[in-house]
Amino acid sequence: MTAYYIGEHRITNAAVFEEYLVKVIPMIERCGGRYLTKTGTHDVLEGDWRPNRVVIVEFPDMASIRRWYDAPDYQPLIALRQTAATDVMIALEGL
């Protein structure tokens, strides 16, 4: 069943976050991930939610998301990302 990764980022160091993206996007793609949204286009209609980057990535299934997120070569990138942003990252199954 298709699954989705949603990432919300409040970027504090754009250069380091860009370094993270250059490395992580190929990993996501290798696990079957496909970006569904264009960054910088979200619009908060209600509430006090203020990320500066939001993405939705479609994966074949939850196992594919876990394969990406739990991969040994991704673990150092988590630390890199956390030095450049405050994040909320979730995974959920589609219908």
User: pLDDT band at 5, cuts 50/70/90?
Assistant: very high
Residue 46: what pLDDT?
A: 94
State the residue range of the domain holding 77: 3-43+51-93
- Residue 83 reports pLDDT greater than 90: yes
pLDDT class of 72 with cuts at 50, 70, 90: very high
pLDDT at 39: 85
pLDDT at 50: 86
CATH of the domain at 13: 3.30.70.100
Do the beta carbons of residue 94 and residue 2 sit within 8 Å?
Answer: yes
Q: For the chain, how long is the longest CA-to-CA vector?
A: 38
DSSP H helical segments within 1-95, as ranges? 14-30, 62-69, 75-84
Q: In total, how many domains does the chain have?
A: 1
pLDDT in tens, 14-70: 999 999 999 999 999 999 999 999 988 999 899 998 889 999 999 999 999 999 999
The answer to whether residues 1 and 92 touch, using CB atoms and an 8 Å cutoff, is no
